Structure 1
Amino acid sequence: METVLGIDLPTWWFLLIGALISGYGILDGFDLGAGAIQLFFRKEESRRIALNAIGPVWDGNEVWLVIGAGSLFAAFPLVYGTILSVFYLPFILFLVAIIFRAISIEFRSKEKMKWWRQLWDISFCVSSIVISLLLGLILGNLIQGIPLNAKHEFIGRLRDFFNPYALLVAITVLSLFMMHGAMYLIMKTEDRIFARLTVMANNTSKFFILCFMATSMATLIYVPHMTDIFKSHPELFILPIAAVLIVLNIRRSIEKRQYRRGFVSSSITTALLLILFAMGLYPNLVLSNADPQGNISIYEAASSTGSLKTMLLIAFIGMPLVATYTVFMFWTFRGKVKLEEHSY
C-alpha cells in the first residue's frame, strides 16, 4: 500500500473526510442551532437580529458538507453508494429540509405581512430541527451498525432506523447545536436579546449535558465495540477524558459569562465527539450489525491508487483555500449585528 508521510492513502482520505465533516458540524452547527431556537424569540426585531447574525455566513458554512460528500464519493464510492441507498429516505427529507431552510431565510423579508413572516419563521425553525435530528439519526445508526448482508445490501426495515439509541443520539446532536447556536448569537447581539440568549445558553447547556451523559452511558452499555480501540491503545483514553473536561468547561464558561470561551469549547466538543466516532469505526467506514462480512473498510471501498493520489494533491491545495475563505468571511462580518434597510 503506497503511503504519503508514512500514512497510507485510504487513511489519509479517512482523515480528510473526517476533518471536512467536523468543519461542517462546527460551522453549520451554530446555524442550525440558531434556527432551532428561532421561535423562542417573540419580538420581530429579535427574530430579525438572530437571522441576520447567521445571514452572511450560513450558505458558506454548507460548502463544507458539499465538499465532504463529494470527497466521500470520489475516495470511497462503495461507501457513498451504500450509505445513500440505505438512508435514502432520511437523505431525501434532509434535502427537503435544507431547501426549505434556505428559502425561509431568503423569502421571510420579501413581504411585510405578519402571517407571511411567521410562516417562514416556523419553516426556518422546523427545518433546522429536522436537519439536526436527521444528522443525529444517521450518526447513531452508523455507530450502532446497520443491517447489511455480505454483499453490502440492506436487509433491514425502515423502522429499524428509529431505534432508541439512534433517537438518543439525534436528540443529543440537536441539544448540542442549540447550545452552540445560542452562544454564537450571544457573541453577535446586545441589549434585551443578549439577556434572553444568556438564559437560553444556560438552559440548552444543561439539556446537552444530560443528553451527553445519557448517550455516553448508552454507548458503553449497548455499543461496546466503540471502546475496543481504547483497550488496545489505552493512551488514547485521554481523548474521552478531554471531551468530558471540555463539556464541563462549557458550563463553567457560561456561569462566568465568558461566552466566547464557551463557544470555542462547544466547537472543540463537536470535533472531539466526531473524532471519537471515527476512532470507534476505523478502519471501517460502515459497520454491519447483521453480518460481519457486511462491514466496509476504507481499504475495500477505496478508489484506485492513482485517483487517491491525484485527489489528495488537489485536496492539499483546495482545503486551505476553503479554510482561508471561511476565516475571511467571519472576519469581514465580525462584530455585533445592526439592522439596516437591506437586512433580512
Structure 2
Amino acid sequence: MELTTVWFILIGVLWAGYFLLEGFDFGVGILLPVLGRDDRSRRLAINTIGPVWDANEVWVLVAGGATFAAFPEWYATLFSGFFLPLLLILVALIVRGLAFEYRGKRSSAAWKRGWDLAIFWGSLIPAILWGVAFANILRGVPLDANHEYAGGFFNLLNPYALLGGLTTLALFTLHGAVFLALKTDGPMRTEAGRLAARLALVTVPIAAAFLIWTGIANLDGFGIALSVLAALSLTGAVLLTRSRREGWAFAATGATIVLAVAALFVTLFPNVMPSTIDTANSLTVGNASSTPYTLTVMTWVAAAFTPIVLLYQGWTYWVFRKRLKLSDIPT
C-alpha cells in the first residue's frame, strides 16, 4: 500500500476519533440548557466531560497537522476556501474552552449563565458546521485549474451540506444524551435516558435521509455498505436507549459515528477534494501529497508516538470511569 493511501486512511481515523470523542462533548454542551435545571445539575453535566474535553480536542489538532504535513495542497485549498466556517468553528471552540475554565471563578448567577450560554453556542456551532464542511468535501466544490477554491461562502450552504450539518447536530446531541445517561446516576441519568430515547426517533430519519442522498449521489458499493452498517447501528442505538442499556447504547452511537466517517472517506477516495467545475481540477491523494521522504518520516514518528498517546488517553478514561451524581457536587 502506498504511503499516500496510508496517510489518507490515518487522517480518516483521526477524524473518526475526533467526532467519536468530541461528539459527546458537543452533545453535553447542547443539552446543558435542557437537562441543567439548576446550577448544581449544570455543574454535574459539565463535570462528566471536565476531565476529558481538552484531550478530545487534541484529535482535531492532530488531524489538521497531519493533513498539513501529508497533503499540503488539500490543507491549503480547504483552509482558504472554507475559511469563514472554519474560523467560526475555531472561535466557538475557544469560547467554549474559556467557559469551562472561567465559569466557576465567580459565584454570580449572571456570570455563570453567561458562560453556560457560551458552552451551548460553542458546542452547537461546531456540531453543525463540521457536518456542513464534510458534506461539501464529499459533494465537491468549485476548484479551478490551479486547485484553488473558486466559489463563495454561500456555495457551501447548499441543501446537501445543510442536511449534513443537521445530521451531525442530531447525531452528536443523541451521543451526548447517551453519554450523560452512562456517566451519571440519579435524576440526571433518568432524564438523560428519556431524552436520548426521544432524540433517537428524530435522529434516525435525518441521518437516513443524508445517507440515502449520499448513496444515490455517489454509488460507491463499499461506501454504501458502510452507510448501511451505520444505519443499522443507529437503529440499534434507538432500541438500546429505550431499554436503558446505556453502555451498549453509547457503543452503538459511537459505532454509528465511526462508520459514517469511514463511509465518507471510502466514498471520497482517491479524491481528497473533488471539483464540481471539472474532474481534472480535483485534488487527489496523488496530486495533493507531500514527498515520499516526508511521508516516510511522518510514518515512523506516528508509529512511535501514537500508541503512547492512545494508552495515556485510555488511562484517563479509566481513572474517571465512575458515575457522578448530584451528591458529588458541593452546594
Indicate the TM-score class for this superposition, using the shorter chain for normalisation.
Answer: over 0.9
In structure 1, the residue corresponding to 2:272 is in which secondary structure?
A: strand
Is 1:320 paired with 2:307?
Answer: yes
In structure 2, the residue corresponding to 1:301 is in which secondary structure?
A: coil
Post-superposition CA distance 1:83-130 (Å, at most 9, x none): 000001111111110110001111111111111111111110011000
- Between 195-204 and 46-55, report the one with greater CA deviation: 195-204
The aligned length equals 330
Instruction: Indicate if the aligned counterparts of 2:211 and 2:227 stay in contact, CA closer than 8 A.
Output: no
Amino acid at match of 1:83: L
1:337 corresponds to: 324
The Cα shift of 1:195 comes to 1.5
The Cα shift of 1:252 comes to 1.3
Instruction: Indicate if the aligned counterparts of 2:186 and 2:326 stay in contact, CA closer than 8 A.
Output: no
Is 1:257 paired with 2:244?
Answer: yes
The Cα shift of 1:237 comes to 5.3
Which whole-Å CA distance do the structure 1 matches of 2:138 and 2:153 have between them? 17
2:74 corresponds to: 79
Post-superposition CA distance 1:220-255 (Å, at most 9, x none): 44xx22x2x31xx6xx75433322221111011112
Instruction: Indicate if the aligned counterparts of 1:149 and 1:293 stay in contact, CA closer than 8 A.
Output: no
Is 1:268 paired with 2:263?
Answer: no
2:14 corresponds to: 20
Is 1:172 paired with 2:167?
Answer: yes
Identity rate, percent:
34
1:32 corresponds to: 26
Is 1:296 paired with 2:291?
Answer: no
Specify which of 185, 204, 211 is matched with residue 209 of structure 1.
204
Instruction: Indicate if the aligned counterparts of 2:237 and 2:252 stay in contact, CA closer than 8 A.
Output: yes
Which whole-Å CA distance do the structure 2 matches of 1:18 and 1:217 have between them? 21
Amino acid at match of 1:29: G
Question: What is the alpha-carbon root mean square deviation over aligned residues?
Answer: 1.7
1:144 corresponds to: 139
Specify which of 2, 6, 11 is matched with residue 8 of structure 1.
2
Specify which of 180, 197, 200 is matched with residue 195 of structure 2.
200
Post-superposition CA distance 1:121-174 (Å, at most 9, x none): 111001100011110110111111111112112211211111111011001001
The Cα shift of 1:78 comes to 0.6
Change (3 A) 1:73 1:340: farther
The Cα shift of 1:42 comes to 1.6
Which whole-Å CA distance do the structure 1 matches of 2:107 and 2:195 have between them? 28
Which whole-Å CA distance do the structure 1 matches of 2:92 and 2:284 have between them? 31
Is 1:120 paired with 2:115?
Answer: yes
Instruction: Indicate if the aligned counterparts of 2:142 and 2:151 stay in contact, CA closer than 8 A.
Output: yes
Instruction: Indicate if the aligned counterparts of 2:95 and 2:119 stay in contact, CA closer than 8 A.
Output: yes
2:98 corresponds to: 103
Amino acid at match of 1:253: L
Change (3 A) 1:342 1:261: closer
Structure 1 residues without counterparts, runs of 5 or longer:
1-6
In structure 1, the residue corresponding to 2:276 is in which secondary structure?
A: coil
1:4 corresponds to: none
Which whole-Å CA distance do the structure 2 matches of 1:8 and 1:99 have between them? 37
Which whole-Å CA distance do the structure 2 matches of 1:256 and 1:247 have between them? 14
Specify which of 298, 301, 306 is matched with residue 311 of structure 1.
298
Instruction: Indicate if the aligned counterparts of 2:131 and 2:165 stay in contact, CA closer than 8 A.
Output: yes
Q: TM-score, normalised by structure 2?
A: 0.96
